[in-house]
Amino acid sequence: MMSRVKVSELSRRTDVSVASIKYYLREGLLPSGTQTANNQAVYDDEHVRRLRLIRALVDIGGLSIAQVRRTLTAVDDEAVPLHDAFGAVMHGLDSVPETEPDPLDEVRTWLHRRGWSVDDRAPALYRLAELVATLRRFGFGGSVDEFDSMADTVEAAAGVEVQYARSKPDRTAAVESMLIGTVVYERVYAEIRRLALESASRDG
């Protein structure tokens, strides 16, 4: 347990500028500190953790402040079941496009066949359908069923990750774990993929 510290020390420990911390306080993303006798606010471990979560959402997830607020509201509301809080994180990472991409129904049917249960307004559902449309425009890819082997791999890993997140001692830690699992590992995969492609293109 960290002793209570002033905003300057909170900034030093989290590598978030004092100006940003004050902005998050004003916007209500970060709870107020405790007022001491000499009218100075002090902060504790909870503030460190919350700042870390905000920065992960902004820096890694690329969320706007409005999206961070929506996500944190779901995280903080104990009445929201944990799986809905996970959903809020995932939905907060992207938005649903205004037009329905053509292969949307195909993707829905595919998910249904796989027995995956996702919100009908999940941004990832729309984005995947858009990507299928893009692939087809470039003469790539036929049936959505071609994603099955990729999905098999991902499905097994996702189950493990969710179990791991659920095993965390509290909601903030669980959601943080889910967020890192989603956003950081998908970038890790993408970068490893680029390295593999570069290496393969040098061979022979």
Q: Are strands 41-42 and 34-35 parallel, antiparallel or unpaired?
A: antiparallel
Min CB(28)–a copy of itself separation in Å: 24
Task: Give Cα separations from 119 to 7, 43, 83, 87, 124 (angstroms).
Answer: 40, 38, 11, 8, 10
* Whether the Cβ atoms of residue 106 and residue 203 lie closer than 8 Å to each other: no
Q: Which is nearer to a copy of itself, 66 or 189 (CB)?
A: 189
Residues paired with residue 5 on neighbouring β-strands, in sequence order:
43
Q: Which is nearer to a copy of itself, 2 or 192 (CB)?
A: 192
Q: Which is nearer to a copy of itself, 2 or 118 (CB)?
A: 118
Min CB(38)–a copy of itself separation in Å: 33
Q: Which is nearer to a copy of itself, 7 or 180 (CB)?
A: 180
Min CB(65)–a copy of itself separation in Å: 21
Contact positions vs a copy of itself (CB under 8 A) = 52, 56, 60, 82-83, 86-87, 90, 93, 111, 116-119, 122, 124-125, 127-128, 131, 134-135, 137-138, 140, 147, 150-151, 153-155, 157-159, 161-162, 165, 176-178, 180-182, 184-203
Min CB(39)–a copy of itself separation in Å: 33
Tokens representing 130 are 């858009």
Min CB(187)–a copy of itself separation in Å: 6
Q: Which is nearer to a copy of itself, 66 or 196 (CB)?
A: 196
Tokens representing 7 are 């905003």
Tokens representing 24 are 């998050």
DSSP 59-97: IIT---HHHHHHHHHHHH-TTS-HHHHHHHHHHHTS---
Tokens representing 28 are 């209500």
